Amino acid sequence: MELIPIYECLCDPTRLRLLNVLAQGPLCVCHFQEILAEPQVKISKHLAYLRARGLVEVERQGNWMVYGLPAKPARELKANLACLQDCAQEDPVFKRDLARLKRLAPKFAETSPCGCS
């Protein structure tokens, strides 16, 4: 994986937020909507951008698309995601997203027709 596509993906706040949340595990678009409080079309557009550049993978489960980080990320991606995780610990927006994920995870596990949590 080349660095330029990685950095092109990392230069957008919404994509950074998506990657930060995905570091906790796979989610479907409806879950991202609740966590980030952003419209579906915006979330889907950014996930498609990340997918086209190999930063996320997707699996269809019924009517739902479940996104996750690559099972075997390239060394360059792994290093940059680790840096994001480190830097995001101090940012209030990223902290809020992870707090929402933690609060909503039981609801997602109980009600998700696609089985992601």
Domains held by the chain: number: 1
Per-residue pLDDT reduced to its tens digit, 72-109: 999 999 999 999 999 999 999 999 999 999 999 988 88
Q: What percent of the chain has pLDDT over 70?
A: 94
Examine residue 99 and state whether it is found in any structural domain, yes or no.
yes
Written in H, E and C, the secondary structure of the chain is CCHHHHHHHHCCHHHHHHHHHHCCCCEEHHHHHHHHCCCHHHHHHHHHHHHHCCCCEEEEECCEEEEECCCCCCHHHHHHHHHHHHHHCCCHHHHHHHHHHHHHHHHHHHHCCCCCC
Residue numbers of the domain that contains 53: 3-106
Q: At residue 55, does pLDDT exceed 80?
A: yes
Q: Which of residues 23 and 5 earns the better pLDDT score? A: 23
What CATH number is attached to the domain comprising 16?
1.10.10.10
Examine residue 51 and state whether it is found in any structural domain, yes or no.
yes
Q: At residue 117, does pLDDT exceed 60?
A: no
